[in-house]
């Protein structure tokens, strides 16, 4: 568990979300493509005035009491049924649209709608006309929970359904105005042009729906269940609020640094100064951004003034970067640890060690595993201290500082994880259950497995080892050597392993289809979904898969 006293900011309790429901009505266009119904909210509305939205509103007690008066699919969960009823009721009240059926199964018509008073109690009117709301064709698309920092929040399932035939939307001219049928991409384009103000969930929903070619394609996609659930988080990018969903790179970092949702954490990549992630944790990114390193190599400092610091992965041989790292630690570097020997991780360790001595400080020892004979010439590495699997490095106050503080401790446990490199280590900060993953787990990409020092079989086994560790220690956050902090550690590892095995299946298929093919032939087939500019790089991991396939005898195993 993260120690709450190490959080950077005082925490606030987010407002409890109000329950609401939304319905996206869809129709196919005769000329091709499809449209969704949107409306403009009142300029006097208390929530997102003037914004274009989908019909919907708050869930009311009457919605939960009306289950017996609604035609629904077998097995619908009570909560989902209540929310779907609310979405249909609100669509009638706001837009004059009725998804309902008569006792004989006939769908409601425009005449039925015209006979109803949208401002009077609904259920007696439906009973009088022999109608029941019909949610059998209503499917949940997604679920949105508003940002934790907002003073007024909603938790909203988004439903989709076909527009009922023969009916025409008519806005209530009180809450909603100007109903418009629009293609998702067209709505996004108008928003970009400043013509249709919309809030984040609306925009992201439209962006995801724009991928589907027809209404039926949307309905087929949601038949197995909602496509996503999101409670977005926000940070600061170029000084402005930047909101992101769970599958976007900064989300895990925002969850770790500002769990209560305050918009305080900068997301800009820069190399001039260290970025605080917790009171006992800082990140300084080296200025070596490229296709292999992403925004650059992350060097981390663990510790505090009372204990001194451990420097993790001081980076490439860049004296300026090392100087900035030393200054961020206040010159008090007690230990240096390298996750592995690659040239963007370990050379800076020796520069940092020399700088400490030059400045009159005690010489910090360099910990890690020596490079294997299989390492490339630019990745030769011999540490001062060989850090075996399971060994620990501990920071604690000394002397008078120890008397003034109590129970301050920062412990790194080494976890041997060969695969990306034979001497690769991950590091567990035990008191906070944080995993420093080096290059074994990255944010935004997968590590290259470059044989002979890299080994795909070892890599996958190490993923299993990390999954077991995270489960046992309650690890939620992973701090990679490249990219933002990752949340949902177990999910990240599971998806990474699944990706590697799925890629291996493509490699195996290419080898079986072209048994005499070249590496380039296999890459063209197995990495057809990857930009061709990256194929040369992909050859390395492909050969690691080939090595594993042959070692396990998979090539001759029939499916």
Q: pLDDT tens, 200-239?
A: 999 999 999 999 999 999 999 999 999 999 999 999 999 9
* C-alpha–C-alpha distance, residues 1 and 65, integer Å: 41
Q: pLDDT tens, 1-15?
A: 789 999 999 999 999
* C-alpha–C-alpha distance, residues 423 and 532, integer Å: 31
**For the chain, percent of residues with pLDDT exceeding 90:** 92
pLDDT at 174: 82
Q: Counting beta carbons within 10 angstroms of the beta carbon of residue 37, is it exposed (0 to 12), middle (13 to 18) or buried (19 or more)?
A: buried
pLDDT tier, 535 (very low <50, low <70, confident <90, very high otherwise): very high
Asked if the model's pLDDT at residue 293 lies above 90, the reply is: yes
Average pLDDT score, the chain: 95
Higher per-residue confidence, 68 vs 458? 458
Q: pLDDT tens, 119-154?
A: 899 999 999 999 999 999 999 999 999 999 999 999
Asked if the model's pLDDT at residue 324 lies above 80, the reply is: yes
pLDDT at 44: 81
pLDDT at 42: 84
**For the chain, percent of residues with pLDDT exceeding 70:** 98
Cis ω for the linkage preceding 173 (within 30 of 0): no
pLDDT at 318: 98
* C-alpha–C-alpha distance, residues 145 and 86, integer Å: 17
Calculate mean pLDDT across residues 416-428: 98
Q: pLDDT tens, 476-530?
A: 999 999 999 999 999 999 999 999 999 999 999 999 999 999 999 999 999 999 9
* C-alpha–C-alpha distance, residues 235 and 245, integer Å: 12
pLDDT tier, 401 (very low <50, low <70, confident <90, very high otherwise): low
| Cα dist from 193 to 198, 310, 351, whole Å | 12, 50, 51
Calculate mean pLDDT across residues 405-433: 94
* C-alpha–C-alpha distance, residues 380 and 393, integer Å: 23
pTM of the model: 0.93
Q: If you search the block for the tokens 């309902």, which residue do you land on? A: 100
| Contact predicate 454/419, CB 8 Å | yes
pLDDT at 557: 67
Decide: helix, strand or coil at residue 58. Answer: strand
Q: pLDDT tens, 111-121?
A: 999 999 998 99
Asked if the model's pLDDT at residue 403 lies above 70, the reply is: no
Q: Tell me phi and psi for residue 499, to 5 degrees.
A: -65, -45
Contact partners, residue 386, CB within 8 Å, separation at least 6 = 367, 368, 369, 370
Q: Which residues of 174-199 are buried (b: 16+ CB within 10 A; e: fewer)?
A: ebbbebbbbbbebbbebbeeeebbbb
DSSP codes of every residue in 316-336: SS-HHHHHHHHHHTTT-EEEE
pLDDT at 505: 96
pLDDT at 339: 98
Calculate mean pLDDT across residues 370-392: 96
Look at the alpha carbons of 391, 297, 3, 279 in this order and tell me if their dihedral is positive or negative: positive
| Cα dist from 313 to 14, 122, 134, 291, 394, whole Å | 36, 65, 60, 19, 17
Listed ranges 47-61, 184-198, 397-411; the one with the highest mean pLDDT: 184-198
pLDDT at 399: 60
Asked if the model's pLDDT at residue 23 lies above 90, the reply is: yes
């Amino acid at each position: 568990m993260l120690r709450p006293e190490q959080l950077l900011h005082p925490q606030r309790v987010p407002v409890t979300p109000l329950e609401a429901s939304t319905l996206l009505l869809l129709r196919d266009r005769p000329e091709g493509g499809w449209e969704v119904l949107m409306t403009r909210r009142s300029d006097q509305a208390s929530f997102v005035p003037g914004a274009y939205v989908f019909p919907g509103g708050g869930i009311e007690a009457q919605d939960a009491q009306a289950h017996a008066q609604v035609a629904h699919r077998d097995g619908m969960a009570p909560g989902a049924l209540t929310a779907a009823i609310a979405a249909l009721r609100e669509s009638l009240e706001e837009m004059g649209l009725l998804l309902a059926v008569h006792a004989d199964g006939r769908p409601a018509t425009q005449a039925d709608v015209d006979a109803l008073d949208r401002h009077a109690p609904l259920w007696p009117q439906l009973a009088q006309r022999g109608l029941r709301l019909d949610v059998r064709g209503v499917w949940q698309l997604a679920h949105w929970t508003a940002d934790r920092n907002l003073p007024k929040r909603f938790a909203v399932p988004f439903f989709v359904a076909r527009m009922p035939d023969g009916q025409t939307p008519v806005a209530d001219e009180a809450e909603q105005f100007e109903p418009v049928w629009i293609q998702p991409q067209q709505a996004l384009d108008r928003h970009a042009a400043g013509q249709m103000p919309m809030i984040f969930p609306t925009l992201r929903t439209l962006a995801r729906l724009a991928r589907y070619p027809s209404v039926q394609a949307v309905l087929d996609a949601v038949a197995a269940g909602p496509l996503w659930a999101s409670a977005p988080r926000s940070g600061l990018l170029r000084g402005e609020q930047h909101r992101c969903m769970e599958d976007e790179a900064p989300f895990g970092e925002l969850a770790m640094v500002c769990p209560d949702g305050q918009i305080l954490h900068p997301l800009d990549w820069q190399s001039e100064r260290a970025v605080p992630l917790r009171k006992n944790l800082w990140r300084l990114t080296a200025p070596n951004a490229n296709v292999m390193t992403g925004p650059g190599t992350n060097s981390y400092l663990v510790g505090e003034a009372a204990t001194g610091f451990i420097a993790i992965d001081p980076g490439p041989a860049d004296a300026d970067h090392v100087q900035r790292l030393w200054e961020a630690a206040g010159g008090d570097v007690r230990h240096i640890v390298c996750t592995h020997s690659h040239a963007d991780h370990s050379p800076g360790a020796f520069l940092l060690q020399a700088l400490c001595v030059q400045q009159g400080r005690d010489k910090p020892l360099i910990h890690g595993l020596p490079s294997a004979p299989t390492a490339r010439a630019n990745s030769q590495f011999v540490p001062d201290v060989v850090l075996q699997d399971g060994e620990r490095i501990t920071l604690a106050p000394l002397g008078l500082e120890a008397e003034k503080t109590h129970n301050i401790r920062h412990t790194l446990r080494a976890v041997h994880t060969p695969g990306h490199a034979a001497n690769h280590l991950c590091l567990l900060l035990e008191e906070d259950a944080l995993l420093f993953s080096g290059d074994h787990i990255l944010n935004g990409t997968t590590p290259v497995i470059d044989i002979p020092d890299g080994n795909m079989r070892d890599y996958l086994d190490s993923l299993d080892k990390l999954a077991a560790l995270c489960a046992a220690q309650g690890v939620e956050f992973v701090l990679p050597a490249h990219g933002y902090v990752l949340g949902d550690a177990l999910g990240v590892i599971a998806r990474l392993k699944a990706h590697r095995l799925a890629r291996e299946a493509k490699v195996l298929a290419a080898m079986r289809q072209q048994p005499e093919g070249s590496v380039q032939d296999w890459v063209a087939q197995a990495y057809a979904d990857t930009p061709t500019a990256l194929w040369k790089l992909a050859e390395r991991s492909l050969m690691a898969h080939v090595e594993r396939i042959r070692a396990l005898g998979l090539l001759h195993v029939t499916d």
